[in-house]
Structure 1
């Protein structure tokens, strides 16, 4: 009886859209107006599990197939989660019901294990649903209907133009992924680039691409932690989707290391996910998707930038761009769903579909954001142009 009352409260106050909940033997509608979605509760989650950690309990229930969401098209789950994030009484954002996970280790050894757990699922897995550039970060769209490959190349050029790179100078890409940014910098902007990664799969892929493109004299990739580098200074530093992995306790050190690696007149473009509401962990994401992950607050990052002796020259939010990126990734993912499920299994496939749609919902609702920080070494700066016109010309 108490469990049914709990679920009534959950669905009555956690979403800002009318919906139907199918309990199996009965259906009940919540909210005013025509139901927009149906939640099928094939198996009720124990209340104690929800109270212990809502994100983990709900995520695991969805992975097992205990929960289904229908009636809203291919992004039904995204719509439901967006409604939850936007609801002032959202269960998943109630601090009394969701506890944060314990502090995580971020030693160099642990960081390598965390990165490899996510990125070394295999290049073939990511090739199934990323675009041709193999770029696994927020794209930059000219319009909502632009194709993903063009938008990812836009993003790379947008980042590099912000740095105003000059030929033959040195650029360091921290967390280089599959190399699109660093290789574009070498080939199109004629700078000498070093990319670093902790993923063996990415290292092998980028090494092969350098050789294919004949860029051995202008590009290199290292299988190394950014804290191990001692061959600075670099005129330019880029780091895309990296600081979310270093952990709350290491954020200050991360920005200090970026500063140490920069030349006296150097500049850096740091691109990553933030929260305007303050930093947060998510237990389900930490367990299944990004071990050791932490989303810092915007002001938290700014404080670390200043403490590292750096100065913010430009700050740009790309929240809606990441929403669109994730929606296109999820479309690509589901187009290959049968292949992925055959290789990785039922739970894994639902886990990744949940991750992509939940992340899209978080960006859509404003629960999280993505920012590009253009920073220079204070007080001298870099001599960047006076206005932003140079970025778009």
Structure 2
């Protein structure tokens, strides 16, 4: 009875809509007023101590192991938990989990490879053909498909730099290379990409040779901290600072400043919490080891301390929510293939990850921000108004 009392207290206040809860003893209850569209099924009891110690880790593992089943939308359920003022999701243990993390070059390489070197074939199953694994940019709202939105995001980033043909660009954390190679082919820039992922490195290297871009493009399998004293006219970095760790954020922005030529321009795009930095225990253990989402104030502090100036900031929260919803839809269309290749536990884990992130963006728990930075007086080599960013 103690367990039931705890669960009832936890779940009855956690959602702004009615839910059905079916317990391990075969009995069910409805919490909230109205007809529920979502059912939580507990196939086993989850120890109270595990939940109170860290709800995200305990419940995430329980879902992976089928101790919990969800009938209905996982995203809606998690979004509801974020929306409810009394939800267990708003506890400090869930929102402010701060693991002891190492971000040495050796550990950073292991962390990056544990996520990105799952295999290019896995990511091809549910990303768009550009293999872009970051927030898309939906210029026409519901009309754009994911591939167009990803291409538009890349061009939106490059347009913000106001690039001049023949100048140089460094892409820190270049992914599978679409941004850097677009910059070379369509904007006439000489580009360098840096990644710690062997899978990404091999694919980008192949693209460079297949498209005969050796004279204008290179990719390095290297830690961005080891690039020496070379400088570039422009720097881009998309979805990168989330990997460097709280203790290395200052050094990350200092390195951006170091690698940028005088009066150079950088566009840094990454997930940011407007409410302050945080990590999530379940994501840290199973998805992004070493991950840390910086707070907005935290990033601005490090940017200013590095000697860079902020020229523009743009929030793209709704764009990332939609991107994740499309990814998860693509993922579930390939669910049987993924499950056969990677196993049921892995498949449930990734589905939970994609839907939980979509819910987190939907609720405003996290945001994604593009920081346009200059080394020198803000806007010195940029047009007077923001119209140029939109091709006007």
Question: Which TM-score bucket, shorter chain as reference?
Answer: over 0.9
Q: Is the 8 A contact 1:192 1:219 kept in 2?
A: yes
Correspondence for 2:234: 236
Distance 1:266 1:292 in 2: 30
Correspondence for 1:54: 55
User: SS state of the match for residue 100, structure 2?
Assistant: coil
Q: Is the 8 A contact 2:134 2:238 kept in 1?
A: yes
State the Cα deviation string for residues 226-279 of structure 1 (Å, max 9, x = none). Answer: 100024211000000000000000000000000000000101000000101110
1:124 aligns with 2:96: no
Q: Is the 8 A contact 2:17 2:80 kept in 1?
A: yes
**TM-aligned CA deviation for residue 382 of structure 1:** 3.8
TM-score computed with the length of structure 2 as normaliser = 0.97
Distance 1:238 1:213 in 2: 22
Q: Is the 8 A contact 2:99 2:281 kept in 1?
A: no
Alignment of 1:271-290 (within 5 A): 271-290=269-288
Correspondence for 1:326: 324
Distance 1:279 1:326 in 2: 21
User: Are the structure 2 counterparts of residues 37 and 145 from structure 1 closer, same or farther at C-alpha, using a change threshold of 3 Å?
Assistant: farther
Distance 1:34 1:308 in 2: 54
User: SS state of the match for residue 371, structure 2?
Assistant: strand
- In the alignment, structure 1 segments of 5+ residues that lack a partner are none
User: Are the structure 2 counterparts of residues 306 and 11 from structure 1 closer, same or farther at C-alpha, using a change threshold of 3 Å?
Assistant: same
Q: Is the 8 A contact 1:85 1:367 kept in 2?
A: yes
Correspondence for 1:79: 76
Correspondence for 2:6: 6
Distance 1:77 1:145 in 2: 25
Correspondence for 1:22: 22
Correspondence for 2:344: 346
**TM-aligned CA deviation for residue 379 of structure 1:** 3.2
User: SS state of the match for residue 389, structure 2?
Assistant: helix
Q: Is the 8 A contact 1:266 1:382 kept in 2?
A: no
**TM-aligned CA deviation for residue 97 of structure 1:** 6.8
User: SS state of the match for residue 144, structure 1?
Assistant: helix
Q: Is the 8 A contact 2:271 2:294 kept in 1?
A: yes
User: SS state of the match for residue 294, structure 1?
Assistant: coil
- In the alignment, structure 2 segments of 5+ residues that lack a partner are none
User: Are the structure 2 counterparts of residues 362 and 163 from structure 1 closer, same or farther at C-alpha, using a change threshold of 3 Å?
Assistant: same
1:255 aligns with 2:256: no
**TM-aligned CA deviation for residue 41 of structure 1:** 1.1
Distance 2:96 2:249 in 1: 22
User: SS state of the match for residue 349, structure 2?
Assistant: helix
Q: Is the 8 A contact 1:49 1:57 kept in 2?
A: yes
Query: May I ask how many residue pairs the two structures share in their alignment?
Result: 389
| Worse overlay, 346-355 or 27-36 | 27-36
User: Are the structure 2 counterparts of residues 218 and 231 from structure 1 closer, same or farther at C-alpha, using a change threshold of 3 Å?
Assistant: farther
Alignment of 1:156-235 (within 5 A): 156-235=154-233
Q: Is the 8 A contact 1:131 1:148 kept in 2?
A: yes
1:111 aligns with 2:119: no
User: SS state of the match for residue 16, structure 2?
Assistant: coil
Distance 2:96 2:47 in 1: 17
**TM-aligned CA deviation for residue 103 of structure 1:** 2.4
Q: Is the 8 A contact 1:140 1:152 kept in 2?
A: yes
User: SS state of the match for residue 172, structure 1?
Assistant: strand
User: SS state of the match for residue 314, structure 1?
Assistant: strand
CA RMSD of aligned residues (A): 1.2
User: SS state of the match for residue 92, structure 2?
Assistant: coil
**TM-aligned CA deviation for residue 69 of structure 1:** 1.3
**TM-aligned CA deviation for residue 49 of structure 1:** 0.5
